[in-house]
Every structure is written in C-alpha cells, then in structure tokens.
Structure 1
Amino acid sequence: MKEAKTQPQPEDRAAYRAFRTIGTRWMDNDAYGHVNNVVYYSWFDTVVNAHLIEQGALDIHRGEVIGLVVETQCNYFAPVEFPQVVEGGLRVARIGKSSVRYEVGLFLAGEPLTVAKGHFVHVYVDRATRRPAPLPPRLQEVLAALQPVQ
C-alpha cells in the first residue's frame, strides 16, 4: 500500500535562524504581474552566500574551498510582486563531510508565514581541483549555528 504524500505547507519564522531583507525590483516581475520563479532561486543564493561571507566562513575570491550547487527545490505558496520587500530566513538541515543542505524560507516583510520555501545543497570542493573537500572549521561553526534548536 502506498503511503500518502503530504503537501508542503508554509512555515513560521521561528523555524529559521538568520534573516536577510531583499527588495524586489521592477524587472523581477514577469508578464503575469508577479515575481518570476527563477528570481526565488537567486534570493536563495543571496541569503546563503551573503550570510556565509558576512560571518567570515566564505571567501569567494581567495578561499581554498568553494561551494557548488548540486540540488535545488522550491515550493510556492503565495505570489510576490514588485515593490514588495522579501525577508529570507535561513537554516541548515544537514551537515556532511563536504556538503550542506541549506533551507530558505521567503516571507513578505513582517508576515508570519513563508510565501515560498526551498532548499539547495552545496558540495564544497577544492578551488583548483574541483574535488570534494572537507568543510573548513570556520564554515562548520557558522553552519552549526544555523541548525534548528532541538
């Protein structure tokens, strides 16, 4: 017997550990008058990488390891339109030896529930060889702080 699949549901802000405010742009809207789906993935990237850079866990110019995206996914619950402001919530769901699963929730400014949520997986690799590399100690510290409180 097949198990019933549950539909993804919006989540509360309390499910996320760090936040970043992002302004929508006129060009983000598509022909249907709402932000195009590809923009959400750009927001995910911005929320994660800006946090890592600000925390000193990622040096995009000189770091020996870099994160490559190997998987992404997004669920949409409500439309976003220019000129609304979005707040991206961030948490870490899984930390491996060389990989991380980030989860991002997008909220309209001040609203309690996600309008979209998703994840992406980074595999950290040596910048020169592009072979998987262990997560550096500072990155491990920053990632640990983003895990949900148990």
Structure 2
Amino acid sequence: MRTRISFSDVDMHGNVHNGRYVAYVEDAINEFLRDNGLAEKFDPRSSDLAYHVRKVEVLYHSPIGFEDVVDVTARVGRIGRASLTFEAEVRTVGAIEPAVQATVVWVCVDPATRRSTPVPEHVHAALGATAGGPLA
C-alpha cells in the first residue's frame, strides 16, 4: 500500500505521530487480505466470527516526515489455534531498510460469548497459502 504522509499525520517536529503507524499497518493488513481474495472471510457481515486485536508491537528505526511517500506492506507471520499474527513494514519509497516494523495479533472470537475460538479451517488454509512469503 503506497501513501503520501499528510500534514495531519505529523507532530510539531515534522515526524509521523507514533500512533499513526498503527493505522497505516491496519490499512495494509486489510489491503493484503483484499489483494489475496480473503477480505470476505473477515467481513463481519459474512462471518459468524469476529477477529479482535489482542496485541500491537511497533519498532521505530528512523523517522518519516510530511510529504514522504511510503510503502506499507503486510503478510501473515503466524497462524495459531485461535490467533493470527501479521507482520508489517513501513519504508520510504526507495529505502532498503524499513523505518518501522510492526506485529499485530488478532484473536478469533465468538461474538455471542466474546471468548476465543479456533480459527476456522478454511481461514487457516487460505491464510496458510500466503504465509511466509515476502512482505507484499
């Protein structure tokens, strides 16, 4: 997912607000699912399960600023019994090293009980086909 950093995303020093990276990563995960034909498996309108964010970890390596153009990429990092872990990177276009790396853990839950439940086999299989590949 390519985006240009807007003025509303930066702090008084001209760097992206730390929390904005989480929004970029969430958008990249959704784009990843859409690009791989998996979005409908996570759409609450077409599933009897929900996926809640359990954990977000962000590692900051270098600043990104206003008007920079960045690529935000995501992939499946791990598929657990009841959780999905996504890995993401944010890098300025042309940069070799990422400016930011993130890990997001989703837990599959039953909306009625709000308790974790196993990731359905069809979701596991579909995501498994994409797991371990390059960030895209």
Q: CA deviation at 1:138?
A: 4.2
| TM-score of the two chains, using structure 1 as the length reference | 0.76
CA distance in 2, matches of 1:77, 1:112: 12
CA distance in 2, matches of 1:132, 1:119: 20
Residue type of the partner of 1:100?
L
CA distance in 2, matches of 1:61, 1:109: 35
Correspondence 1:82 to 2:63:
no
Correspondence 1:31 to 2:15:
no
The CA RMSD measured in Å over matched residues stands at 1.9
CA contact (8 A) 1:90 1:146 kept: no
1:64-115 per-position Cα deviation (integer Å, ceiling 9, x unaligned):
1221111111111111112112211222222111101111111112322201
Partner of residue 135 from structure 1, selected from 107, 119, 130: 119
CA distance in 2, matches of 1:25, 1:135: 37
Correspondence 1:98 to 2:79:
no
| TM-score of the two chains, using structure 2 as the length reference | 0.83
Residue type of the partner of 1:88?
V
CA contact (8 A) 1:65 1:126 kept: yes
Aligned pairs, how many?
A: 130
Where in structure 1 are there 5+ consecutive unaligned residues? 1-19
Q: CA deviation at 1:58?
A: 1.6
Where in structure 2 are there 5+ consecutive unaligned residues? none
CA distance in 2, matches of 1:42, 1:58: 18
Residue type of the partner of 1:106?
V
Partner of residue 110 from structure 2, selected from 120, 126, 135: 126
CA distance in 2, matches of 1:108, 1:145: 28
Matched residue, 2:131: 147
1:26-65 per-position Cα deviation (integer Å, ceiling 9, x unaligned):
1001111110000011111111123224523321434212
Matched residue, 2:94: 110
Q: Structure 1 residues 132, 23: closer, same or farther in 2, change over 3 A?
A: same
Q: Structure 1 residues 139, 88: closer, same or farther in 2, change over 3 A?
A: farther
CA contact (8 A) 2:87 2:101 kept: yes
